[in-house]
A and B are shown apart, each in its own frame.
Chain A
Amino acid sequence: MDLPPAQAAEDFLQAQKCLRGDTEALAALRERYDGSLRAILQARGATPTEADDIVADLWGDCVAAAEDKPVLLEKFSGKCALQSWLATVATNRWYDQKRREARGRELLPAESGPSGKFAGDESGPFAAPTEHAIVELLRDGLKLAFAACDAESKICLRLVYLHGLSQREISRMLGWNEPKVSRALNGAMQQIATDTLREINKRDRLLSITWPDILELCETNRIGFL
């Protein structure tokens, strides 16, 4: 998921050019990413029309401030690939929209007061979520998957992948041979992926998402955007 430095620099440079009003730079960006963004959204569950609308709005917001929202590209830090970043923005927007629509359909028309707001819904059905709905879905799915993973496996995954211990050191610690350590780590990670996907699918069949999608969305959110 780490970006080669040259690509990262180019992406950031392109974004800065767009922000300075370079219409050719923006056109080049659209040409490069428009098709792939629509394809990514559709692969994740959007209809062609939804994908078209979301991506069209996205380009509009890239360099022009929408009501009460900053210019979109100003938030791009260059710490990830621009395509991944745009895909995450588009996915967040699409999914938030779908959740708002679903909440609107769940409430009976009689519950809507004269103001048009739904009774008991203080924020209103069209209020922007404090956290993107898809971030909450990922968080909840991953939390459940991690909770199901045994303590020993979780700690060993942390030791190897966050603290840089070798599998040999883990094998000495546990009294296992190295192949057993490798199988245990791979198995635990695979189970986390499987359980996360199952939980997300159970909560929302609208979203058609793969483990690489989850990693991309988590990474882009992790490095802090929007």
Chain B
Amino acid sequence: MTNPFEVVAGFLERFDAEVRGRESGEPPEEVRAKLRSLALGTLPPGERAALFSQLEQNPEWVASLAQEVKALRANPVRAS
């Protein structure tokens, strides 16, 4: 069953793709490092808001965050 968020986000993305064109999906390394920290749950709350704001501007980077979280499924790391 398609979930409601997927329906409306998919509908809107049709228009965003037309406006924004195709962009690179890979975040820069300094952002990638923060995504790793966020995935681990170790990113300080103060930096989290800024990172979420960056992700909002670059929704294609959300996939990279998802990858970092999924990588922990195979290799769980305990944060110190």
**Which residues of A are interface residues toward B (Cβ below 8 A)?**
1-2, 138-139, 142-143, 146, 151-152, 154-155, 157-159, 161-165, 169, 172-175, 189, 192-193, 196, 211, 214-215, 218-219, 221-222
> Which residues from B are CB-within-8-Å of A162?
5-6, 9, 62
Do B55 and A151 touch (CB < 8 A)?
yes
Do A218 and B62 touch (CB < 8 A)?
no
How far apart are the CA atoms of A120 and B70 in the complex, in Å? 56
B interface bracket (residues with beta carbon within 8 Å of A): 20 to 34
Do A158 and B9 contact each other (CB < 8 Å), given the known contacts A165-B69, A173-B38? yes
> Is B12 located at the chain interface by the 8 A CB criterion?
yes
Name the residue on A nearest B54 (C-beta): A151
Residue from A152, A164, A169 in contact with B52 in the complex, judged by beta carbons closer than 8 Å:
A152
Do A139 and B12 contact each other (CB < 8 Å), given the known contacts A151-B55, A152-B49, A155-B56? yes
> Is B25 located at the chain interface by the 8 A CB criterion?
no
> Which residues from A are CB-within-8-Å of B38?
173
Do B66 and A218 touch (CB < 8 A)?
no
A162 CB to nearest chain B CB (Å): 6
Name the residue on B nearest A145 (C-beta): B8
How far apart are the CA atoms of A48 and B14 in the complex, in Å? 34
Residue from B8, B53, B70 in contact with A218 in the complex, judged by beta carbons closer than 8 Å:
B8
Do A155 and B52 touch (CB < 8 A)?
yes
Residue from A138, A152, A174 in contact with B41 in the complex, judged by beta carbons closer than 8 Å:
A174
> Is B1 located at the chain interface by the 8 A CB criterion?
yes
> Which residues from B are CB-within-8-Å of A158?
5, 9, 59, 62
Q: Which 9 A-B pairs have the closest CB atoms?
A: A163-B66, A218-B11, A151-B56, A161-B5, A151-B52, A1-B2, A222-B11, A152-B52, A222-B10
11 new A-B contacts, CB < 8 A, other than A159-B62, A175-B41, are A1-B7, A2-B1, A142-B8, A159-B65, A162-B6, A169-B69, A174-B48, A189-B5, A211-B4, A219-B2, A221-B14
